[in-house]
Amino acid sequence: MGPYYNMLGLKREVFNDLDGSLTSEFLSPSAGAPGTLTYGWPHLLQDPACVNATDSSFWDNGAFCDATVTVRQVMFTNILDQQ
Does any domain span residue 24? Answer: yes
Q: Which domain holds residue 38?
A: 14-66
The domain total for the chain is 1
Average pLDDT, integer, range 13-20: 84
Does any domain span residue 50? Answer: yes
- Residue 46: its pLDDT value, please? 93
Does any domain span residue 4? Answer: no
Alpha-carbon gap, residue 46 to 18, rounded angstroms: 23
pLDDT in tens, 21-78: 777 665 555 556 788 888 888 898 999 988 887 666 667 778 888 888 888 888 778 8
Does any domain span residue 74? Answer: no
Does any domain span residue 62? Answer: yes
- Residue 19: its pLDDT value, please? 83
Local confidence band at 3 (pLDDT 50, 70, 90 cut-offs): low
Does any domain span residue 26? Answer: yes
Does any domain span residue 9? Answer: no
Does any domain span residue 5? Answer: no
Helix (H), strand (E), coil (C) string for the chain: CCCCCCCCCCCCCEEEECCCCCCCCCCCCCCCCCEEEEECCHHHHCCCCEEECCCHHHHCCEEEEECCCCCCCCCCCCCCCCC
Alpha-carbon gap, residue 4 to 56, rounded angstroms: 10
pTM of the complete model: 0.70
